[in-house]
Amino acid sequence: MSPALCLSRFLPYRLSITSNAISQRIAMEYRARFDLKVPEWRVMAVLGDVGPLTQRQLVGATFMDKVAVNRACKVLVEQELVMRHPNSLDGRSHLLELTQEGRDIHAQVMPLALKMEEEILACLSAKELSEFSKTLDKLFAQVRDMDPDSED
């Protein structure tokens, strides 16, 4: 085989399409019930997991681009699932936080997402799952360590 790129074997492509396929499959469940798109749910999931964050922090936490995070936050604020309030530590930014309705939806979607994750991962043995998880952690750490903008 020549050194030319074979897209079907290119790891970034394989990871991306697998991630997108899984995300879209899970999204079918919460889109039908709550009219949420993938970026909106990712923002809600992170806020539900770690609490209030700035949009800049959300960009870092979700690895989505600024425009996608901005758009998702705007929709979530308009739907009153997220509220925006001044950041007392930085007068230039705002913190975004789930509203009570947002927390209620988060509490309903998480079990759906976890159930779907369990169904998807059922094709792996416990050992394969453990090794896969460790491998993903190693790959993420390697990429993070290569990032000149990463903070240590």
Structure confidence by residue, pLDDT tens digits, 31-67: 988 999 999 999 999 999 999 999 999 999 998 999 9
In three-state secondary structure terms, 62 is helix
In three-state secondary structure terms, 53 is strand
Reported confidence tier of residue 3, pLDDT bands at 50, 70, 90: low
Q: What is the pTM of this model?
A: 0.82
Residue 112 confidence (pLDDT) above 60: yes
Which pLDDT belongs to residue 151? 54
**Rounded distance, CA 24 to CA 110, Å?**
15
Reported confidence tier of residue 152, pLDDT bands at 50, 70, 90: very low
* Single-letter amino acid, residue 16: S
Tell me the two tokens of residue 36.
Answer: 């949420």
